[in-house]
Amino acid sequence: MRLGADHVRVSVPATSANLGPGFDALGLALGRHDVVEVRAIGAAETVVEVIGEGAGEVPLGEDHLVVRALRAAIDLVGAPQTGLHMVCRNEIPHGRGMGSSAAAVVAGIVAARALIADPDALDDDAALALATEFEGHPDNAAPALVGGATVAWEGREGPRAARLEVHPDVEPWVFVPTVRLATKKARGVLPTHVPHADAAFNAGRSALLVEALTRRPDLLFEATEDKLHQDYRADVMARSTELVRGLRGLGLPAVVSGAGPTVLVLGRASEGDRVARAVAELLGGSDSFDVLTPGLDLVGARSERL
């Protein structure tokens, strides 16, 4: 495989995984993006510039997550490695449960796909498999790749994802705290075993959530109930847990976004006034959460050759 372009731009959405009961399976792409511009250069050097989220924090050379994913994708298809100049314009906050690491990995893979002569060699299944190797779970990478809502699972031949057509009335409200929580830490507090009744509860709610997301948004409140991860993680995100419980107490379908500590209300567009009243009641003048209405991203990762 040879390279077919030397200058590309990719855009990848933030994602919210789990959506309550769909631990490591369900995910949703949000209208907030990281945009990465990549130049393949002759010189054997890697230079990364980061603007926005992560600037001054992430490494700027071969250890940068986008670079690592891009190089892994280039190796996977047998294309030649190259020097890289990369500019990352990041809108997705890090360590908040909005899929920043998955977006970085998908950005690298999709940039590689745009650079190589035969992009079909890195189709969505291959891209999801590689992204899942980096992430350890496919639920963020799937919607980051294809947009909308997805159900992802570990198939016999690797990770797979099915895209859902989200009902037009479904609207995400996103409460982003200033504090961070590494996904690794939030996974570390989960038990290795759960009661059978809790697993059965979540199986039913996850199935219901697919129906609620696609055809019956009126069922979103009950469909977002969970017993497999949020309570176990309550101690490592006390304020977010309090906010989820407060919002649910007011009848709003609130969940922890991904591994937290961001909170997601997966509601209906018509519930905007109730969400605004809840924000006023529960957050008052506090600035500990930014409230975003990013909308959904129905397309997923995009790339263009420049």
Ligand X SMILES: N[C@@H](CCOP(=O)(O)O)C(=O)O
Ligand Y SMILES: Nc1ncnc2c1ncn2[C@@H]1O[C@H](COP(=O)(O)OP(=O)(O)O)[C@@H](O)[C@H]1O
Binding residues for ATP: 93-103
**Shorter beta-carbon distance to ligand Y: residue 208 or 244:** 244
Q: State how far the Cα of 217 lies from the Cα of 204, in Å rounded to an integer.
A: 16
Pick what 18 binds: ligand Y, ligand X, none; C-beta below 5 to 8 Å, kind-dependent.
ligand X
**Shorter beta-carbon distance to ligand Y: residue 50 or 266:** 50
- Tokens found for residue 252: 């709003």
| Using rule CB under 6 A, residue 71 touches ligand Y | no
Pick what 24 binds: ligand Y, ligand X, none; C-beta below 5 to 8 Å, kind-dependent.
ligand X
Which residues 6+ apart lie within 8 Å of 151 measured at CB? 22, 25, 26, 142, 161, 162, 164, 210
From residue 245, alpha-carbon distances to 11, 190, 255, 277, 278 in Å are: 34, 19, 9, 15, 12
Q: Which residues within the stretch 48-67 sit at the binding site for ligand Y (CB under 6 A)?
A: 54, 58, 64-66
Tell which one of 46, 82, 90, 240 touches ligand Y (CB under 6 A). 90
Tell which one of 13, 21, 99, 217 touches ligand Y (CB under 6 A). 99
117 DSSP assignment:
S
Q: Which residues within the stretch 228-287 sit at the binding site for ligand Y (CB under 6 A)?
A: 258-259
Tell which one of 89, 94, 216, 245 touches ligand Y (CB under 6 A). 94
From residue 81, alpha-carbon distances to 3, 67, 130 in Å are: 9, 11, 17
Pick what 65 binds: ligand X, ligand Y, none; C-beta below 5 to 8 Å, kind-dependent.
ligand Y
Q: State how far the Cα of 237 lies from the Cα of 217, in Å rounded to an integer.
A: 28
Pick what 58 binds: ligand X, ligand Y, none; C-beta below 5 to 8 Å, kind-dependent.
ligand Y
Among residues 111, 120, 117, which one has the least CA distance to residue 85? 111
